[in-house]
Amino acid sequence: METKLAVIGLGLIGGSMALALQRHEGVEVAGYDSDERTLREALHLGIIHSTAETARQAAEPADYIFFATPVNETIRLMKQASAEWSLKPGVILTDTGSTKTSIMEHAGLFREKDAVFVGGHPMAGSHKSGVRAAKEHLFENAYYLLTPASGKDEAHARRLENFLKVTKAKLAVVTAAEHDAMTAVVSHFPHLVAASLVRRLEDESVEHPFARELAAGGFRDLTRIASSNPDMWRDITLQNRDELLDQLDLWQQEMEAVRAIVEAGDPDEIRRFYDGARAYRDALPLKSQGALFSSFDLNVDIPDNPGAISEITGILAKAGISITNVRIVESRADVFGILVVSFQTADDRELGRVCLAENTSYEIYIS
């Protein structure tokens, strides 16, 4: 029996979703994107089976509708769909947005149309964007949170969950409020902090210009997420504003406590502060993708000799292990290893670690 899927928005997430769900036998994917070039590329690359001239045209025959669009655009489409579209009875609509409360406030719009909206957030990403970066395996081992509107929708959430199992994501059901609170602390708030640290460096560099050069090591890694799309993070900050304000209040309390520790100058207390953070951080899962995109890095302590980098990349290439990036770290006061090798997945990183350990005498670290 054929299942019709509509994917509206064919960027990295929408394109990857279309590819992953084609693992189901008999799934026909219709796609729509406001960018005609993206739509043509998606069809050419086999990401979708057919194109639609409008979101409505893609959605009306579908059994499942995925809005892989920015949150504000998804809400606009939800309003339009509930008021104007002739949806198939029993259709499940879902989204991929990174905030859920504002989305789920509109889920009830579909009650009278024999349709159900179940919120969704696949916590996966890539160092690349756009439809050409779409990958069938993008969601594997990544957390994928579903947010049904109420207990009445849990059966539909289970149906959607079963449909999504082929993505090999780690599926979990939470409330929209739980989702936004948790993602605030592990994703949205860290972006605020990273951006603030970069601005602090910018101010410091006025008086001490060389500080910018020293930031090429651990500081750059620590603040990597500050390079994210500013338009997207403007929207997320506004959509999850209340949770972020709560986190800022708690952060200020934490900073006051840290200031008191530093001011007191007690060596044992200072060590306990760092040791507690180290122990908790080191106990965090290594293999799972969390709310922040991970590049799965290996740090390799190689000598500064001609051919050392090509030796490393050659060993990995011979073993058929793909890498996404290689870079030399110049400022290494707080970084393990002069060479950072990035992999697509945790499994690839582990294969790379074992391969390099067996074929070289270099020290290798996962930070």
**Same domain, residue pair 15 and 142:** yes
- Going through the chain in order, the beta strands assigned E by DSSP cover 3-8, 27-32, 50-51, 64-67, 92-95, 116-122, 143-148, 170-173, 297-301, 325-328, 339-342, 363-365
Please indicate, yes or no, whether residues 195 and 87 belong to a single structural domain of this protein.
Answer: no
User: Is 67 domain-assigned?
Assistant: yes
65 with 158, same domain?
yes
Degrees, nearest 5: CA angle 46-125-14: 35
Q: Worst-scoring range by mean pLDDT, 4-13, 18-27, 85-94, 334-343?
A: 334-343
What pLDDT is stored for residue 301 in this prediction? 82
The C-alpha atoms of residue 154 and residue 220 are separated, in whole angstroms, by 43
| Phi and psi at residue 4, to the nearest 5° | -100, 125
Among 128, 159, 174, the domain-final residue is 174
174, 193, 210 - which closes a domain:
174
Residue, of 164 and 229, whose pLDDT is higher = 164
Q: Is the pLDDT assigned to residue 290 strictly greater than 70?
A: no
- Are both 273 and 332 inside the same structural domain? no
Which residues partner with 363 through β-bridges? Answer: 301
Provide the CATH number for the domain around residue 302.
3.30.70.260
- The arithmetic mean of pLDDT across residues 295-301, rounded, is 81
Residue 288 inside a domain? The answer is no
Range of the domain at 212: 179-282
* CA dist., res. 364 & res. 223, Å (int): 23
Domain-embedded: residue 292: no
Asked whether residue 216 is assigned to any structural domain, the reply reads yes
26 and 113 both lie in a single domain:
yes
Residue 115 sits in a domain whose CATH number is 3.40.50.720
Instruction: Reply yes or no on whether the pLDDT at 334 is more than 60.
Output: no
Angstrom distance (rounded) from CA 66 to CA 74: 10
Total number of domains constituting the chain: 3
pLDDT (tens digit, 9 = 90+) per residue, 121-156?
999 877 678 999 899 988 988 899 999 987 777 788
Of 187, 238, 225, the residue nearest 75 (C-alpha): 238
- Is residue 24 located within the same domain as residue 81? yes
pLDDT band at 272 (very low <50, low <70, confident <90, very high): very high
For residues 8 and 32, is the Cβ–Cβ distance under 8 A?
yes
Kindly state whether residues 200 and 85 are assigned to the same domain: no
* Domain's final residue, options 157, 174, 191: 174
Q: Which residues pair with 327 in a beta bridge?
A: 340
Specify the pTM.
Answer: 0.78
Q: Are residues 44 and 138 in the same domain?
A: yes
Provide the token pair at 304. Answer: 């500064």
